[in-house]
Amino acid sequence: MAFCPVTTQRVDPHSQGSTGPELRVVRPRRAPPAEAARVTRAEVNLAHVRHNLRELQACLQADAEAGPRAQAAAVWCVLKADAYGHGAAAVATTLERAGVAGLCVALLEEGMELRNAGVSCPVLVMGGYWGRHRDGVEALLENNLTPVVYDEQQIETLAATARYLYSGQRRQVDVHLKIDTGMGRLGVREEQLGGVLGALRAAPELRVAGLMTHLACADAESLAETNEQLARFEHTTKLVRRAGFTPSLRHAANSAALLRTPRTHFDLVRPGIAVFGVHPCPASPGEAARIPNLKPVMRVLSEVVALRDLPAGEALGYGHAWRAERPSRIATLPMGYADGLSRALFNRGQVNGEQANRGQVLICGKRVPVVGNVSMDLTMVDVTDIPGVSVLDEVVVLGEQRGRLGEDAISADALAAWSDTVSWECLTSVSRRVPRFYRHP
C-alpha cells in the first residue's frame, strides 16, 4: 500500500459561521496494494499473528493448570504504533476473529482507527491523554473506548463529559486506574492516591473496572525489581479496595512478564512484541521461562535497481565513508533511512585493522554487507562475493530468504544489535511509505 502525504484544506469561514479561517486535516492513508509502485515493500503474515496468539494462550493455560488460578488470564494484545508497524486495522481484525479478549493502544486516534475498521472488542487507551479540547473526550466515549486514568483532572473532565453526553441516562463509563509502582512515567503514586480516589468517588459517572501497572524490568536478568513492583501493586490494590472500589480486572504483564513470571498474570496480560514473533528476552540461567514457538510476522523486501564495478581505492556514498580495498561490485537498493533502514547500519571497511561490518541484507540466500552511509532513499551493498547478481534480484532486509545460493534469515533482533537499539524500534521504524502486503490466514 503506497504512501499519501498529509495535506490540509482551508475551510471558508463564512460557511462555518466562524470569525476566521479554519484548517481541517486530511489524514494520510495507504493506497491499496494494487496501486503501490514501489519494489520496496513489507509482507505481513496474518496467519503468524494468529499462531503467536495461540502460543501465548497456551503458555497462560499451562501456568493456570500448574498454579492456584481457576482459569488462564485473558489476552489483550497491544497494537500501539500502528501495531508495531504491521498495520493496526488488519492485525486487529485478525486478532478479533481469532477470539482475542481485548486490545490496547496508546492514543485516542489509534483506538478510533480500530473502531473505524469495525473492531468491536474492548479497546483500552493507555496513554491517558485525549487532546486539548472536549471533542477528544467525546470521541473517546462515543467510540466506546476504555480510558486509563491516573490524575484528578482527567477524572473530572471525563465525568463532566459523560454527564453532558449521557444526560438523563443511568450509564457509567468504565475506566482503568493506573498505578505507578516504579516505572516513573505515568500513573498515580501512593502518596497521591487519596486525592485520585476522592475524585473518583465524586464521579458516579465513572466506574473503576480495572487496576493496572507497568513493569520496568521484566526482561532483566534479575527479577528483584519486578518483585518489588508487584509488592507495591498488591499493597495499592488493598488500599483501593479498602476505599470501596472493586475493580474486576487487574493487569501488569507485558510480553516478558507473561513468559517469565506467572505471578504477574492476574486477570489479563498485555503482550506486544511477542504477538509479532519477537521473543522479548532470553531465558535467564536457572529460570523456567517458556520459549514458545513464535513466528516472525513481518518480512521487508526490496530489489537490486543498479549495479556498478569500482576499482580498488575508489570511495562511494555520502562523506566517502567507505573505500574499496579491492575491485568491488556494488548493488544499489531503493530503500533508505526514510523507510526505516537505520543510518547506523553503515560499514566502513577496515577500522583499526579489523573489518567493521554491521548492517547486512540477503541476496540469493547469502548475506552481503551494507557499504557506506545509508542514504534517505537508497542503500548500497557489496555483492563482490556473490556471483551472478543482476538487476531485479530480490533483496531481503528483514526476514527469511531462500535463494539459488542457499537460505538464511535476518531477524529484528539482528537488526537491533547492528543498530545498537531494540527490536521494537526496528519494527516500528518501517515507515508508512513502505507499502504493506497482507497474507491472510
Q: What is the pTM of this model?
A: 0.89
The Cα 313–Cα 326 span in angstroms is 7
213 Cα distance to chain centroid: 18
Closest CA to 130 of 115, 149, 152: 149
Q: List Cβ neighbours of 290 (8 Å cut-off, separation of 6 or more).
A: 59, 62, 259
Active site residues: 80, 318
| Residue type, position 10, single letter | R
Domains of the chain listed by start with CATH number? 46-276 (3.20.20.10), 298-410 (2.40.37.10)
For cell 472488542, what's the residue? Answer: 121
Confidence at residue 14, expressed as pLDDT on a 0 to 100 scale: 44
* Per-block mean pLDDT, blocks of 10 residues, the chain (441 long): 36 43 51 72 97 97 85 96 96 98 97 97 93 84 96 94 88 96 95 97 97 96 95 98 97 96 96 96 56 94 97 94 94 97 79 64 97 95 96 97 95 94 95 92 73
Query: Which pLDDT value is given to residue 123?
Result: 98
